[in-house]
Structure 1
Amino acid sequence: MYLADRSAPAGAKGAPDRGPARTPAVASAVLALGTVSLITDISSEMVTAVLPLYLVAGLGLSPLGFGALDGVYNGVSALVQLTGGHLADRVRNHKLIAGIGYGLSALCKPLLLLAHSLGPVGVVLALERTGKGLRTAPRDALISLSTPAGLQGRAFGVHRAMDTTGALLGPLAAFLILSVAVDGYDAVFGVSACVAVLGVVVLVLFVPGTSGPAGSARPAGPPVPADTAPAAPAVGVREALALLRLPRLRALAGCAALLGLTTVSDAFVYLLLQRRTGIAEQWFPLLPLGTAAVFLLLAVPAGALADRIGRRTVFLAGHALLLTGYGLLLWAPGQPALPFLVLALHGMFYAATDGVLPAAVGAIVPRELRATGLALVGTGQALARFGCSLAFGAAWTFWGTGPALCAAAAGLLCSAAVAAFVLRPAHPPHPPHPTQSPRGTR
């Protein structure tokens, strides 16, 4: 089962150590990286929460223009993510590459104070996404390599929960700043820059340095003597491309990209919800709080559930929940409970998919190429969502919100059906009858 790897590959079962020295459920590196992500997400989500309204209502961007900018915002990150993953494996220092990415994003926040037109804003956002792309795969590789394979769903769930705590606090901070500051948007951008710097400081001081045979955080368990540790092979472009020969990785990457093609971006979901229910503009920055709160509550249970019952089941169930949210936006009556239901389903979708996918990749890719493998899958998914942002923005402009979302929902349904078939469990061959000779086997 491609997404239901409940144990490590042969030779590394990934079950927790039941001896005297028990393996901790969550490694200290995961908690440190979660703290960095929490702080950084406060900074990022402060900007993200006000950005759609700032661009559409403040700068007068059309839905098509916003779709293009939102696509570039995510597409740049996707392209750079592959570079960041390969560099981290090549230099064998995941913390260094992740730190460069966090630092670049922090440097871009003050530049938003100087950008008041579409061109400069687009450039600043592209640079900020470059930093995000550089740090994502090395950070996830540090989490994966610090955790036994059988507990990776839980580890990624803990990290995503901490990350989402920042996503919960960021919009709330933006809302409070907008309500009290005279130059609300500039005040949000300035505070965001200060918080981003704090995240970089925490990374430098508290995230463990890289070690081990692949230049990454050493996984939990008994230490390996330095003179007996195997030398890590050189990681080049050829070794990275060889990952595409792994059938299971190709299946994961293809299904993630296919589903990403029909996953409407968060910003569009919030804009659709605001227009459908008539939520006042001053409450708009609070909409991401609903998604973040549900994600925070369910990220760890969903990751642990995926470790127990299989990652394929949880992953596909998450997309079914997202499809239900699309259906509510299309056909449910405009009752006061509608925003709460849609945001709850949106958060459940992320809880069931955001940490489960990298946990599945970690069970497939070799240690020395872990960041590259995570980047391959993440890049394909992000590029697909880039295309979805462009297509959905164009469909909204030319067809209207209803037909655009209906097309996305139909595409998601078809994509989920294909993914369920491709990621179906692999049935082991029937053993030969005791009276038959196992010819052709050795």
Structure 2
Amino acid sequence: MYLSMSDRNGGKKDLAPPATGPAGPLQTPFRLSPVILWLGVVSMLTDVSSESVSAILPLYITGFLGLSAIAFGILDGINQGASAVVRIAAGYASDRIGSPKRVALAGYGLSMVARIGLLFASGFWALSAVVAGDRIGKGIRTAPRDALITVSAQPEHLARHFGVHRMLDNIGAAGGPLLAFFILMLMPNGYGTVFVVSLAFAIIGVAVLALLVPNLKTRQPGSAAPDSKTGPGRGFRWRLLREPGLGRLLVAAGLLGLLTVGDGFIYLVLQDRDSFAVQWFPLLYVGTNVVFLILAVPLGRLADRWGKARVFIAGHVALLACYLLAAAPVGGLGPTVACLVLLGAFYAATDGVLAALASQLTPPDKLATGLGAAQTVVALSRMTASVGFGVLWFALGPSVAMVVVGSFLAVGVVASWFILRGGLRQRPAA
């Protein structure tokens, strides 16, 4: 299935709602592609694998291994940003060969191999290497996978299709921490058991991708590969960032990413405030991801109707509210649940919506490259945010550090709105 960019976005301005008359694009009935369904199953299985580990990693590092908050900040930064080193290259390779599945399979396979390393890593440097390997695998697979979603989706329902994928993805993201919770309830120090179960789910996910997802092409057979006239080995072309709207989107996403604290830190702030038992810690991840999966499709549909940029900015407003509520001196179950709802709403309003927005603003022959560029900017900025917040925590304490980041985020939300508003008034790339 081959889609031109004009087919995907109809040349419409994203900040304005699309046409609603009889010829409006949203009159086409929504139909879910089996490709997107199977990709969602793969992501679901893989997220059971990855999130069962992520849910216990803050406690494993700071409690079981006895490392400092700064050490966790560095590891969380690696977790957020190690994938950035390969995202654009993986997207470019996908566009170059026109076969995203092959590149995505390599990424899922590398993450599976990294799960084996968790069974043996016990020190800071060994854990850093394993986390980096897992995240590099994620960086390799994400842009090609999102390119497969884009070429399989109905253009007028693009954000909604991404929402369906993210919903399935987050069933796994909620199931992984829940699985870790039950394991730790039965075995208080059963971190090794969590790692073994994580590896099993990773293997199943790779098998489903290899056997059940078709090898769709993203360019016509025999057509020139991206930038082929520049000769082999020229790689990523920076002029891609000058596509109307895409450069501004990357600036806004990078600015907001610098002010996006990793989930683990938010949960540690809540645990520090309320001092609840550590075995309940994985349930914080469950709560966030349940909200994410519930809201992913409705907010994707809203983004298609109301405007992707508007929903993207609104998601960061929810994140700001989460920061301020986490830093508030009022504890208990109610404020904690409200934080999880706000954090889940943030992810539902930004994750798939950013991918849909980036794909709308990228030429079709460079689709995975553009998606990889957006993901790279977010990954690098969030890596910086995690390391910086670890230092702020050490210097100011958790609550004050959260207030400081929240104050900067309030300014960043306003600035990003004007950045996106100026860029998306232009006609998207065609």
Unaligned runs of 5+ in 2: 1-11, 229-233
Residue 231 (structure 1) aligned to one of 220, 223, 231: 223
Distance 1:2 1:414, change over 3 A: farther
Matched, 1:260 2:223: no
**1:118 matched to 2:124:** yes
- The residue that corresponds to 2:365 in the other structure is 368
Query: Deviation at 1:5?
Result: 7.2
Tell me the distance in 2 between the aligned counterparts of 1:388 and 1:181: 34
Larger Rg: 1
- Return the alpha-carbon distance in structure 2 between the equivalents of residues 96 and 207 of structure 1: 11
Pair 5,141 (structure 1): closer, same or farther in 2 beyond 3 Å:
farther
The partner residue of 1:281 within 274, 278, 284 is: 278
**1:250 is aligned to 2:242:** no
- Secondary structure at the residue paired with 1:354? helix
Amino acid at match of 2:15: A
Q: 1:213 to 1:109 in 2, by over 3 A?
A: same
Q: 1:420 aligns with which of 396, 417, 428?
A: 417
With 206-215 and 335-344 compared, the bigger mean Cα shift is at 206-215
Q: TM-score, normalised by structure 1?
A: 0.87
User: Residues 336-415 of structure 1: matches in 2 within 5 Å?
Assistant: 336-415=333-412
After TM superposition, the structure 1 = structure 2 runs for residues 10-409 of structure 1, keeping only pairs within 5 Å, are 15=25, 24-181=30-187, 184-213=190-219, 231-235=223-227, 237=234, 240-331=237-328, 333-409=330-406
TM superposition shift of 1:327:
1.1
- Aligned positions, number: 407
Distance 1:352 1:60 in 2: 36
Give the AA of the match of 1:73: N
Q: TM-score, normalised by structure 2?
A: 0.90
1:57: how far off?
0.3
8 Å CA contact 2:328–2:399 kept in 1: the answer is: no
In 1, Cα distance between equivalents of 2:144 and 2:156: 20
Assess if the C-alpha contact under 8 Å between 2:13 and 2:425 holds in 1. no
Q: Deviations over 1:157-208 (max 9, x none)?
A: 0000000000010011111112224750000001110110000000011111
Distance 1:279 1:264 in 2: 21
Residue 4 and residue 31 in structure 1: after superposition, are their counterparts in 2 closer, same or farther (change >3 A)?
A: farther
| 1:17/1:304 CA distance change after superposition, 3 Å | closer
Q: Which amino acid aligns with 2:345?
A: M
Task: Please provide the CA RMSD for this pair.
Answer: 2.2
Work out the CA distance in 2 between the residues paired with 1:149 and 1:55: 44
CA distance in 1, matches of 2:425, 2:374: 26
> Structure 1 residue 3: deviation in Å?
4.8
Give, as a single letter, the amino acid of the residue that structure 2 aligns with 1:190: V
Distance (whole Å) between structure 1 residues aligned to residue 53 and residue 225 of structure 2: 41
Which stretch shifts more, 409-418 or 324-333?
Answer: 324-333
Q: Is the 8 A contact 1:162 1:296 kept in 2?
A: yes
Q: Deviations over 1:79-119 (max 9, x none)?
A: 22122111111121100000000011011112111111111
Structure 1 runs, 4 residues or longer, greater than 3 Å off: 1-8, 232-240, 425-429
Structure 1 pair 149–332 and aligned structure 2 pair: CA distance change class (3 A): farther
* Separation in 2, partners of 1:233, 1:83: 15
Deviation at 1:403, TM superposition (A): 2.2
Please state how far the C-alpha of 1:42 moved relative to its aligned partner.
0.3
Q: Deviations over 1:330-388 (max 9, x none)?
A: 22512331110100110011111111111111111111111000011110111000110
Structure-2 change in CA distance of 1:297 and 1:86 (3 Å): same
Post-superposition Cα deviations, 1:126-178, rounded to whole Å, max 9, x if no partner, equal 11111111001100111112113211110000000000000010011111112
Contact 1:5 1:311 in 2 (8 A): no
Work out whether 1:4 is the aligned partner of 2:1.
Answer: no
Is the contact between residue 161 and residue 299 of structure 1 (CA under 8 Å) also seen in structure 2? Answer: yes
Are residues 212 and 272 of structure 1, via their aligned partners in 2, closer, same or farther at CA, if it must alter by over 3 Å?
Answer: closer
Report percent identity of matched pairs: 43
**1:427–1:381 Cα change, 3 Å:** closer
Q: Which runs of 5+ in 1 are unaligned?
A: 216-229, 430-442
- For structure 1, which segment, 412-421 or 65-74, has the greater mean C-alpha deviation from structure 2 after superposition? 65-74
